[in-house]
Amino acid sequence: MKELFTSTNLSFLLQGLWLTLYISFISIVLSTLIGTILAVMRNGKNRVLKLLSSIYIEFVRNVPNLLWIFIIFLVFQMKSTPAGITSFTVFTSAALAEIIRGGLNAIDNGQTEAGLSQGFTNFQIFIYIVFPQAIRKMLPAIISQFVTVIKDTSFLYSVIALQELFGKSQILMGKYFEPDQVFALYGIVATTYFVINFIISSFSRRLAKRWEQAAE
């Protein structure tokens, strides 16, 4: 068991953890931006943009993310890391678009009318009035989607041999196959995923609670 917890092995796993966080962070940032644009397009009055965003959202959301990883990697002949980021961005942006759209629709139209009466443009109303209120309503669902992204990066090793955290643990598994070693290795990986996602979820709950208290 001791030979499992060497600095070399821990460093090897940390490399995988860094790649997991890197892919997740880039995917989440891009997905949030694209998802917001798609949500605004689908809520807008332009029929062409509304149709295009609706087709993208519905088609992408109803195809498994695992298949998107295969498609991006094989069809577009991308390297593993860019393929991972692209596939997660494609899938997550569609999921976030619906979450964001739901949050925007939850804001009363009176807010927009009040902004127009004060001389604000539609863009200013969205940025300064509607979106800040909507983000409070959709934050838990958005954070839940972020957590899903981090967990689902574990698909990447089995699909495109990307050596993220789970992939690194599978490589180490080839060297340590005793039951106690396997249990310890999977325990380390599971605990790492749990700690990261628990911290994110806890931060989300505290932020939501703080916003609720500020609104009272």
Range in 80-94, 117-131, 137-151 with the lowest mean pLDDT: 117-131
The answer on pLDDT for 210 being more than 90 is no
More confident residue, 172 or 177: 172
Single pTM value for the model:
0.87
The answer on pLDDT for 133 being more than 90 is no
Per-residue model confidence (pLDDT) at position 109: 73
Q: Which two tokens stand for residue 214?
A: 């500020």
Please spell the DSSP secondary structure of the chain, one letter per residue.
-GGGS-HHHHHHHHHHHHHHHHHHHHHHHHHHHHHHHHHHHHHSS-HHHHHHHHHHHHHHHTS-HHHHHHIIIIIS---HHHHHHHHHHHHHHHHHHHHHHHHHHTS-HHHHHHHHHTT--HHHHIIIIIHHHHHHHHHHHHHHHHHHHHHHTTHHHHHH---SHHHHHHHHHTT--SHHHHHHHHHHHHHHHHHHHHHHHHHHHHHHHHHHHHH-
Q: Which two tokens stand for residue 169?
A: 């643990």
The per-residue pLDDT for range 61-113, each reduced to its tens digit, is 999 999 999 999 998 888 999 999 999 999 999 999 999 988 888 777 766 67
At residue 166 the predicted structure's pLDDT band, cuts being 50, 70 and 90, is: very high
Range in 74-83, 96-105, 125-134, 143-152 with the lowest mean pLDDT: 125-134
The per-residue pLDDT for range 193-206, each reduced to its tens digit, is 999 999 998 888 88
Per-residue model confidence (pLDDT) at position 215: 55
Per-residue model confidence (pLDDT) at position 212: 64
Q: Which two tokens stand for residue 185?
A: 């290795």
Per-residue model confidence (pLDDT) at position 165: 94
All domains of the chain in start order, with CATH: 2-215 (1.10.3720.10)
Residues 6+ apart with CB under 8 A from 29: none
